[in-house]
């Protein structure tokens, strides 16, 4: 076993007591975090306690602090809000309140606290930790505890997880609940768009965010709103006239509706509130448009958590327990957080101070600074929105005289249309003439190419599938005809949006450069496939939507068995030979097992799984869930596994099977896929513009690019969006099974097994390092997935 790999078995929780509480406003995904803390804590041998009703329960004690059991959290994963309750507690803000809380914890031997809440809740926890030894001394003096107890429980360890739908906490890319809140907003916007179109109406939507405009900004980006108002970047004076002009122009181009999104804390440059009713009155007065207001309110906090929030919360919960096991008396209180697709630990007070600095900058009207302090992801969202929403007049556009073609290749994936819209509009803004190729490489060689304008892609972000049309045809046999079409339309650059076929297609075009000069142009690929099997990228457009489809279906399937006898469901997922959907979907749905090609299994493993489920079914757990990737094994088919479980489970549970099929490819794209597609595509187009300038030969009057780095794949790697020459990705690819040789998500498999009560090893080499909050990360390290 390599020396650098460290497993958590060395971290024993025996004799330790961990308490988990949720505080402040609730957020979807909090229950998934609670479940992960309870199960990981019990798994490592610690006693785990629920503290009901947040800090109020800690102060009141009694039945509010109860020991948690494994089975007690078995049906929490899909439930919104927080089942252990949350309350704002004035008493905990007083010294007397904290003294009572300390007494209640010491009585139960609790010295490890996992706090799930916003910055106020986490600041309170840190103050409690700093005062802890003084509080114990007071309790000794009052005769409430003895000196031995004070000595034994001398230090309080705290780990925070940020549960807030506003995503207003600095240091983390995403807080628990944000993605689910975006789902609620986008569901409403998509529904409103149909009625608005019918009546040619303008809708003003007010979303939450008293001090943070993240929800408003990202939902505006995800639905292509005409105007957005956020507290961090108030509009310039005279915005009323500009907005009305923009709305009027949109209508004059044939659009039948307008959408304006307002954060509840939106202000103008002078600090005056801009409410949804102010905006409505303005539109009616200046334009006479039929205008309606919709205030979303607490709908955004409700409902079932998204797949992203369940996975995020489960990873954070496990990481929080590991952090508590590794902490010492001198370790500062930390927050477990997400950066890119990696969990990190950051000093709690550094994050809190930076979050408070944002508010201070806004109070002092230093709005540019406030946006920067929010982080690179927020800043990028704002830049991308401005780039796509506001069309510059023809006179202000640079005239590059370059023609850029965009096409979809492979199977359809939700979010492809958002990526095309983004590419077209950024390309036009950069001064290029944009061409759309229908039906992938097949349409390319048949000449199905036409110019695409700004208005042609209006309303595309929320559309599922591929509006351009997409085929799996590879270009190798048709390079001559494709070269002819490129010559005919004078195509100077290519943007290919697609899955593994797009990757192979780009390599075919690269190989044909020696024969055809037409292919010596900048070419870039953006990964879009539900299978998430493209080398060079941890995420693909479409995979998040598919995960949500799997998770929602699994929830319904499990619910169908409630109140009946014990039942196990065998569910087959897509993915080719890539087990991403089965594994991550399994983690999000609370599966007992997930069979994949990358982790070979035999009859002994299947037998062990059946026995494990049989044992679980003898307790209070009534339902089991087993996922199988479609190509996980040639012989252990879904039918075989179903029959095996049915036979072996006789008398204990019965079995049902489901093949999810193409429903994983359909549906409206999730907010994550809309934004990931929009931002990654915008970045790809900016790269194309840069390469076109670099490779343009003035003397010959043409673009000539034949270096390795002129044909790239833009992918997300760990914490960064990076361009990688496709040639260099060859060695990382298993071409037979169409998967990357190394896949980051395989590290999540032990986590799924632990939460399903299997004994396993969990690599924690990446964990354990306390990092520091970076104020302004350099551009290339911005993951900016959402």
- Cβ-in-10-Å burial (0-12, 13-18, 19+) of 146 comes to exposed
Q: Which residue has the tokens 């995503």?
A: 167
Q: What is the DSSP letter of 769?
A: -
Main-chain phi, psi angles of 716, to 5 degrees:
-95, 120
The dihedral sign for the CA sequence 129, 135, 140, 145: negative
Q: What is the DSSP letter of 166?
A: T
Q: How far is CA 368 from the centre of its chain?
A: 26
Q: Please, which residues bridge with residue 21 across strands?
A: 51, 115
Q: How far is CA 429 from the centre of its chain?
A: 28
Angular region, 757: left φ>0, alpha ψ -120 to 50, beta rest: left
Q: How far is CA 1 from the centre of its chain?
A: 33
Q: How far apart are CA 478 and CA 518, in angstroms?
A: 13
The tokens for 145 are 């505890």
The tokens for 108 are 């139960």
Q: How far apart are CA 292 and CA 421, in angstroms?
A: 27
Cα dihedral 183/225/378/690 (nearest 10) = 120
- Enumerate residues 6+ apart whose C-beta is below 8 A from 161: 33, 114, 115, 116, 176, 313, 316, 317, 320, 335, 336
> Do the beta carbons of residue 257 and residue 299 sit within 8 Å?
no
> Do the beta carbons of residue 549 and residue 183 sit within 8 Å?
no
Cα 166 to Cα 157, 265, 347, distances in angstroms: 27, 12, 21
The tokens for 188 are 């409403």
> Do the beta carbons of residue 571 and residue 661 sit within 8 Å?
no
Q: What is the DSSP string of 446-509?
A: HT-EEE--GGGGTT-TT--S-TT-EE---SGGGHHHHHHHHHHTT--EEEEEESHHHHHHHHHH
Q: Which residue has the tokens 């249309």?
A: 417
Q: Which residue has the tokens 């303008």?
A: 202
- Enumerate residues 6+ apart whose C-beta is below 8 A from 73: 31, 34, 35, 38, 39
166 a catalytic residue: yes
Element (H, E) at 740: strand 739-740
- Collapsing DSSP to helix, strand or coil, 14 comes out as coil
Residue 602 CB neighbours (<10 A): 10
Instruction: Sheet containing 593-595: give its strands across.
Output: 593-595, 623-629, 567-573, 654-659
Catalytic residue among 166, 168, 439, 673: 166
- Enumerate residues 6+ apart whose C-beta is below 8 A from 475: 441, 444, 445, 482, 505, 508, 509, 512
Cα 147 to Cα 95, 106, 154, distances in angstroms: 21, 12, 10
Q: How far apart are CA 123 and CA 120, in angstroms?
A: 5
Q: What is the DSSP string of 299-314?
A: GGG-SPPPHHHHHHHH
> Strand 711-717 vs strand 702-703: parallel, antiparallel, or unpaired?
unpaired
SS3 string, 15-34, reads CCEEEEEECCCCCCCHHHHH
What residues are annotated to the active site?
166
């Amino acid at each position: 076993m390599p020396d650098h790999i460290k497993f958590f078995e060395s971290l024993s929780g025996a004799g330790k007591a961990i308490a988990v509480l949720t505080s402040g406003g609730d957020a979807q995904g909090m229950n998934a975090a609670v479940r992960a803390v309870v199960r990981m804590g019990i798994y490592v041998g610690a006693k785990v306690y629920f503290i009901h009703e947040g800090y109020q329960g800690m102060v009141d004690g009694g039945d509010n602090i109860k020991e948690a059991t494994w089975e007690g959290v078995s049906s929490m994963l899909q439930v919104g809000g927080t089942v252990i309750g949350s309350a704002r507690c004035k008493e905990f803000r007083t010294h007397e309140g904290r003294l009572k809380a300390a007494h209640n914890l010491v009585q139960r031997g609790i010295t490890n606290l996992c706090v799930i809440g916003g910055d106020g809740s986490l600041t309170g926890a840190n103050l409690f930790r700093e005062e802890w030894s003084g509080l114990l001394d007071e309790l000794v003096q009052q005769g409430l505890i003895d000196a031995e107890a004070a000595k034994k429980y001398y230090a309080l360890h705290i780990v925070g997880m940020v549960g807030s739908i506003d995503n207003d906490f600095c240091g983390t890319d995403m807080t628990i609940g944000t993605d689910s809140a975006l789902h609620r907003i986008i569901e409403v916007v998509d529904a409103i768009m149909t009625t608005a179109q019918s009546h040619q109406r303008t809708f003003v939507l007010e979303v939450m965010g008293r001090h943070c405009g993240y929800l408003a900004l990202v939902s505006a980006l995800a639905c292509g709103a005409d105007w957005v108002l956020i507290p961090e970047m108030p509009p310039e004076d005279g915005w009323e006239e500009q907005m009305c002009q923009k709305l009027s122009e949109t209508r004059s181009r044939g659009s039948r509706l307008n959408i304006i999104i307002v954060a509840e804390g939106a202000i103008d440059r002078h600090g005056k509130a801009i409410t949804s009713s102010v905006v409505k009155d303005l539109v009616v007065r200046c334009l006479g448009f039929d205008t309606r207001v919709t205030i979303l309110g607490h709908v955004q906090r409700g409902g079932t958590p998204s797949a992203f929030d369940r996975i995020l919360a489960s990873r954070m919960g496990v990481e929080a327990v590991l952090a508590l096991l590794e902490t010492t008396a001198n370790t500062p209180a930390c927050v477990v957080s997400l950066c890119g697709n990696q969990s990190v630990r950051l000093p709690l007070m550094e994050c809190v101070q930076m979050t408070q600095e944002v508010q201070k900058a806004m109070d002092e009207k230093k709005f540019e600074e406030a946006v920067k302090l929010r982080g690179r992801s927020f800043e990028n969202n704002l830049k991308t929105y401005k780039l796509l929403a506001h069309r510059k007049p023809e006179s202000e556009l640079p005239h590059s005289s370059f023609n850029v073609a965009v096409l979809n290749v492979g199977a359809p994936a939700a979010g492809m249309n958002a990526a095309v819209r983004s590419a077209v509009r950024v390309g036009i803004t950069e001064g290029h003439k944009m061409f759309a190729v229908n039906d992938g490489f097949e349409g390319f060689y048949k000449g199905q190419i036409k110019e695409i304008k700004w208005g042609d892609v209006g309303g595309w972000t929320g559309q599922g599938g591929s509006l351009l049309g997409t085929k799996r045809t590879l270009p190798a046999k048709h390079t001559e005809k494709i070269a002819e079409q490129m010559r005919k339309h004078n195509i100077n650059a290519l943007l290919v949006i697609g899955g593994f076929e797009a990757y192979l297609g780009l390599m075919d075009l690269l190989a044909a450069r020696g024969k055809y000069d037409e292919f010596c142009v900048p070419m870039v690929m953006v990964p879009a496939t539900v299978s998430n099997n493209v080398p060079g990228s941890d995420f693909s457009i479409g995979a998040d939507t598919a995960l949500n489809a799997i998770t929602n279906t699994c929830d319904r399937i499990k619910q169908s068995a409630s109140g009946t006898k014990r039942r196990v469901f065998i569910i087959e997922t897509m993915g080719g030979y890539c087990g991403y959907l089965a594994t991550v979907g399994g983690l999000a749905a609370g599966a007992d097992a997930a069979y994949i090609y990358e982790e070979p299994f035999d009859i002994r493993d299947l037998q062990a799984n059946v026995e494990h489920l049989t044992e679980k079914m003898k307790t209070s757990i009534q339902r089991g869930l087993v996922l199988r990737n479609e190509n996980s094994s040639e012989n252990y088919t879904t039918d075989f596994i179903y029959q095996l479980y049915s036979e072996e489970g006789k008398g204990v549970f019965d079995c049902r099977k489901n093949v999810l099929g193409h429903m994983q490819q359909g549906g409206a794209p999730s907010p994550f896929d809309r934004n990931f597609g929009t931002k990654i595509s915008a970045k790809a187009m900016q790269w194309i513009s840069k390469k076109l300038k670099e490779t343009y030969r003035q003397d010959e009057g043409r673009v000539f690019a034949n270096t390795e780095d002129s044909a790239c794949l833009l992918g997300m790697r760990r914490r960064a969006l990076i361009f990688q020459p496709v040639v260099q990705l060859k060695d990382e690819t298993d071409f037979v099974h169409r998967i990357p040789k190394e896949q980051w998500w395989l590290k999540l498999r032990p986590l799924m097994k632990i939460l399903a009560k299997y004994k396993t090893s969990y690599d924690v080499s990446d964990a354990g390092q306390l990092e520091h909050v970076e104020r302004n990360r350099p551009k290339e390290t911005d993951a900016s997935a959402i």
